[in-house]
Amino acid sequence: MSSASIKNDIFAGITAAVVALPLALAFGVASGAGAIAGLYGAIILGFFAALFGGTSTQISGPTGPMTVITATAVAAFPNDFSTVMTVIFLSGLIQISFALVKIGKWIQYIPYPVISGFMSGVGVIIIILQINPFLGVESQPSIVLTLINFLETIKQINYEALVVASITLAIMFLTPKKVSKVVPSALIALIFVTYFSYYMNYDISKIGEIPMGLPEFILPLSIDFINLSQIITLAITLALLGSIDSLLTSIVADNMTKTKHKPNQELIGQGIGNAVCSFFGAIPGAGATMRTVININSGGTTKLSGMVHSITLLIIVLFLAPLASEIPLAVLAGILIKVGFDILDYKFIKIVNKVNKRDLLVMVTVFLLTIFVDLIMAVGVGITIASILAVYKVSKGTQIKTVRSKTSFDIDLENKDTQIIKITGELFFGTASVLDDKIDKINNAKTIIIDCKNAQSLDLSAIFTIENIIEKLKEKDLSVILILKYRHKRAILDIDSNGLFKKTKIFHTIDDATNYIQKRELDYA
């Protein structure tokens, strides 16, 4: 590593830390664990994910989706912070297990409408949950309660907090890009509006005392077996969201740096980082896209930049914590609302009237489930619907045709016709039932040829369907011939536990099958 590269990495890491500071504070408060938990989440995860991860330029820390789930865990286990940390610890272990079974590369197969609906849903959640702090009113623990009690909230507005939050939001949206590239708009808002609030002597809620020094050690092994199901569900949710979020950010980093990340190594780094967070009362996180982009644009090229980012934040915590304690919650609400708007998937929103109905159905379903039901259910349902629609689309491309054929011999072959079921495309669980229906409609035939020569795939459902068809046809005293590719024949014979396929004539071409039928008819004649 050259001295110029080291210099660039140090500068980029410090720049990323400056951007991360207000976001870490805001996410910490939003999670319910406190501002210091957000800061140490950025410090610990940022360091270990950089050290052990598989994306050289990635900056990790608290993110919107992870904060929402952490807030759910905090609300689910009030006055039981150890259990919340247990959830975070388990989520880290689950991420490491994802890496060990090499699941990282499969994240890229999640359909885009699912990701779009999820990210936009998370953006809306963040915006709605910050309405009360924006208005200077105590926060509600859920989206539904926030919306239901909105009219009551309006009656309790703290106008000083509203002024502070509005100025913050204006700075976040209106700061010219030329300026924000040099000094992040979130940092400008944090410093300027906090000073303005202090100068005006506004009576509004602040972050409050932030402990200086290193955090206390927590043993995250508090497992109440009554709540075990909820603990595991939240841990899996955090692990999945953290993995998806991180690997999507890794792809962004790849595109910018023309490099290739190691997905499973990245999950190990994220898992270690989140697991260590749980020992120090820190909230979990993931690869953060905006901070990663800023790191790359600032010259970061190696893991050093991510570690410098964490060390910089640690120095700030150790020496500047008293200043951070004076930051109004309304300022953080303004920053987070801008973050919520940034998370919305404008790429999809711009073309929403042009996308096909299937993609729109998936996106809207995931979007609504994310906001009003559950994030992990939203992703699960979205993937399920998308998979079913994909299977339907593939099955529509599979052709299963019936062809009646007479042998070429000049003897009386009445009632000895041969029917060919010709399959082109994919023969799998989505199309196997169509084959069964075709067979049921066959009449006046003595020999059935099931021609799978042009079948691209043959899964277990299709094999068992063919097995049932053969048994059914033999009960009717009909002769069955299969035409299979060599690899499909091997696959079928390997699982032929009752010997049915071994007793069935299997050929590799239609000519071989026809020759066999003609020879058999000659013998009978």
Whether 52 is covered by a domain: the verdict is yes
Look at residue 109 and tell me whether its pLDDT is greater than 80. Answer: no
The count of domains in the chain is 2
3-state secondary structure (DSSP) of residue 351? coil
**Same-domain pairing of 377 and 435:** no
Together in a domain, 189 and 228: yes
436 versus 491: which is more confidently predicted? Answer: 491
**How much is the pLDDT for 411?**
36
**pLDDT tens digits, residue range 328-380?**
889 888 888 888 888 788 888 888 888 888 889 999 999 999 888 877 678 78
Evaluate whether 37 touches 329 at the Cβ level (below 8 Å): no
* Among candidate residues 203, 251, 229, 30, the one with its CA nearest the CA of residue 122: 30
Tell me which of 342, 358, 389 is where a domain ends: 389
**Same domain as 171, residue 119:** yes
**Would 196 be classed as within a structural domain?**
yes
DSSP H helices, 325-356, are 329-343, 346-350
Give yes or no: residues 405 and 510 share one domain. yes
Phi, psi of 425 (to 5 degrees): 120, -145
Of residues 223 and 425, more confidently modeled = 425
Position 409 pLDDT exceeds 50: no
Query: Averaged over 155-172, what is the pLDDT?
Result: 93
**Do 354 and 464 belong to one domain?**
no
Domain check: are 419 and 351 in the same one? Answer: no
Q: What percent of the chain has pLDDT over 70?
A: 94
Tell whether 427 and 351 lie within a shared domain: no
Quick one: 172 and 242 in the same domain? yes
pLDDT of residue 301: 87
Same domain, 356 and 430: no
pLDDT digits (tens, 9 = 90+) for 57-85: 999 999 888 988 899 899 888 888 889 99
Q: Is residue 30 part of a domain?
A: yes
pLDDT digits (tens, 9 = 90+) for 244-253: 889 878 887 8
Domain end marker among 357, 389, 421: 389
* Predicted model pTM: 0.71
110 and 75, same domain (yes or no) = yes
Residue where a domain terminates, one of 368, 389, 410: 389
Query: CA 41 → CA 66, 240, 273, 374, 507, distances in Å?
Result: 11, 18, 9, 24, 63
Residues 307 and 442 in one domain: no
Burial label, 93 (beta-carbon count in 10 A; 0-12, 13-18, 19+): middle
Regarding whether 105 and 8 lie in a shared domain, the answer is: yes
Averaged pLDDT score across all residues of the chain? 84
Q: What is the pLDDT of residues 36-49, one digit of tens each?
A: 899 999 999 999 99
Higher-pLDDT residue of 55 and 433 is: 55
The model's pLDDT over 181-218, given as tens digits with 9 standing for 90+, comes to 777 787 888 889 999 998 899 889 887 777 777 778 87
Spatial contact of 271 and 93, defined as CB atoms under 8 Å apart: yes
- What would the mean pLDDT of 519-524 be, rounded to a whole number? 68
CATH at residue 512: 3.30.750.24
Assigned domain for 394 exists: no
Dihedral of the alpha carbons of 59, 111, 233, 75, in degrees to the nearest 10: 60
- Segments forming the whole domain that contains residue 91: 3-389
